[in-house]
């Protein structure tokens, strides 16, 4: 295969992987769906239509989905390492689409909704998410790992953009029920995702990616090629567990904000929905999920690119500094809709950057041969972040309501806890270093 043909096929796989991830980003629209469950009223009684849901339960599907996503990722990675990405991705997209449809039939039964939107959808996401990155990276030169990782995972973040707009359009503009909306979304996921997944393939055996023109390995900030090791070897390194904790603590701040974006806009500005910014808040509430989607994806793409230029740890430190200062801003400074938008933007950009830099470090440290399984281990940390961040937010808010707190004070302690977690994560970053392996441990 000549260099021109390799580039063409590599770009096709990259685009197909991006669009496959784009099709299934419904988990990141949970803020919209949560609001529909919490605030939709029964026109006949004026009471909450979905009264079977306690307010304390509202983040459970998001947290369960994220946790199951992370748990299944290691299995999905090992499966795609053995049989290739296409079949695994088709299975995953089918699970996401069908579970979304079934969720529309059982919105009034929270425990069943946890299973469909949490367990089944989360497992399906793992099968989709874990395949395009290693497939695409194998088509391109190792010096492009950060860029390729960033572009592929940006699709997952951007999925909430189109899905969020469709949700708002169906729920608010057309006045459809949440049940009907979920069934339509599930159908769209299947129609868009499956054709894309069919084009995600590994390169042929013995393929060597073409070297970029003008590439000078002496000037590169990242390794040109990393030795590959098994999952068992990876699991015995402290670096794998350090990366897992970094994921869990650093991403908790972003998960806290993403899962509560619309509520933060409702309560954090002075006076909330009934204060001087009431009209502004009402006008931009529907934009919160698209905002988180776009800025999350910008972080994913830019984080990978920046890490190729300045190095992985340097990018990590930059992200941690911004994230910590931003959480302090939420706690003490942000009191207008404009400042809240800035805060949400920074939270999502740093969150997204973590989701592109970390998988690139995994490829740097442990190679590509067993990348799917190795990254699956580290990714457990991200799943934990979707439990830690939203749970902290929900607990702090509930305690604040009991204490009679209002506005930004409802979430203040959650932001301060997030700062502490980010600081611990930053300390771990300083201890990271490239692992060294014995010849007998290297498999490729």
Tokens 């970053």 sit at which residue?
429
Q: Tell me how far apart the alpha carbons of residues 375 and 363 are, in angstroms, rounded to a whole number.
A: 8
CB 186 within 8 A of CB 23: no
pLDDT band of residue 386 (cuts 50, 70, 90) is: confident
User: Which pLDDT does position 444 carry in this prediction?
Assistant: 76
pLDDT in tens, 420-438: 999 999 999 999 999 999 9
pLDDT higher than 70, residue 221: no
- DSSP designation for 142: G
Backbone angles phi, psi at 442, to 5 degrees: -85, 130
Q: Tell me how far apart the alpha carbons of residues 386 and 388 are, in angstroms, rounded to a whole number.
A: 6
- Average pLDDT of the residues in 20-28: 92
pLDDT band of residue 217 (cuts 50, 70, 90) is: low
CB 411 within 8 A of CB 396: yes
The residue extents of the domains of the chain are 3-205+222-434
pLDDT band of residue 20 (cuts 50, 70, 90) is: very high
Look up residue 216 and give its two tokens.
Answer: 């000078």
**Best CA proximity match to 294, nearest among 121, 163, 118:** 163
- Average pLDDT of the residues in 219-239: 81
**CATH code for the part of the protein at 3-205+222-434:** 1.20.1250.20
């Amino acid at each position: 295969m000549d260099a021109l043909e390799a580039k063409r096929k590599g770009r096709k796989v990259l685009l197909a992987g991006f669009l496959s991830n784009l099709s299934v980003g419904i988990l990141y629209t949970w803020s919209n769906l949560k609001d529909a469950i919490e605030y939709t009223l029964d026109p006949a009684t004026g009471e909450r239509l979905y009264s079977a849901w306690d307010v304390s339960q509202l983040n459970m599907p998001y947290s369960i989905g994220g946790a199951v996503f992370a748990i299944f990722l290691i299995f999905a990675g090992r499966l795609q390492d053995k049989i290739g990405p296409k079949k695994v991705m088709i299975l995953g997209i089918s699970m996401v689409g069908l579970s979304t449809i079934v969720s529309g039939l059982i919105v009034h039964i929270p425990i069943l909704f946890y299973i469909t939107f949490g367990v089944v959808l989360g497992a399906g996401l793992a099968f989709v998410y874990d395949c395009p990155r290693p497939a695409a990276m194998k088509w391109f030169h190792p010096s492009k790992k950060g860029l390729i990782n960033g572009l592929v995972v940006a699709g997952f973040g951007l999925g909430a953009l189109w899905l969020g707009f469709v949700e708002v359009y169906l729920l608010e503009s057309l006045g459809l029920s949440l049940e009907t909306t979920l069934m339509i979304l599930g159908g769209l996921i299947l129609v868009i995702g499956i054709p894309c997944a069919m084009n995600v393939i590994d390169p042929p055996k013995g393929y060597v990616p073409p070297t970029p023109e003008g590439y000078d390995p002496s000037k590169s900030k990242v390794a040109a090629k990393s030795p590959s090791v098994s999952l068992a070897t990876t699991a015995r390194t402290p670096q794998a567990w350090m990366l897992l904790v970094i994921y869990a603590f650093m991403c908790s701040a972003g998960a806290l904000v993403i899962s509560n974006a619309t509520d933060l806009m409702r309560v954090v500005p002075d006076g909330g929905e009934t204060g001087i910014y009431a009209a502004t808040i009402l006008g931009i509430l529907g934009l919160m999920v698209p905002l988180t989607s776009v800025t999350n994806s910008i972080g994913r793409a830019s984080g990978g690119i920046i890490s190729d230029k300045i190095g992985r740890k340097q990018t990590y430190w930059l992200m941690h500094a911004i994230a910590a200062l931003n959480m302090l801003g939420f706690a003490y400074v942000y009191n207008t809709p404009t400042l809240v938008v800035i805060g949400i933007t920074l939270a999502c950009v740093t969150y997204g950057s973590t989701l592109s830099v970390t998988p690139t470090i995994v490829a740097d440290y442990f190679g590509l041969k067993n990348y799917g399984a190795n990254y699956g281990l580290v990714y457990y940390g991200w799943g934990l972040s979707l439990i830690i961040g939203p749970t902290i937010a929900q607990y702090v808010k509930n305690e604040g309501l009991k204490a009679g707190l209002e506005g930004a004070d409802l979430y203040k302690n959650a932001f301060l806890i997030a700062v502490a977690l980010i600081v611990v994560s930053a300390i771990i970053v300083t201890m990271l270093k490239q692992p060294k392996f014995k010849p007998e441990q290297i498999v490729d």
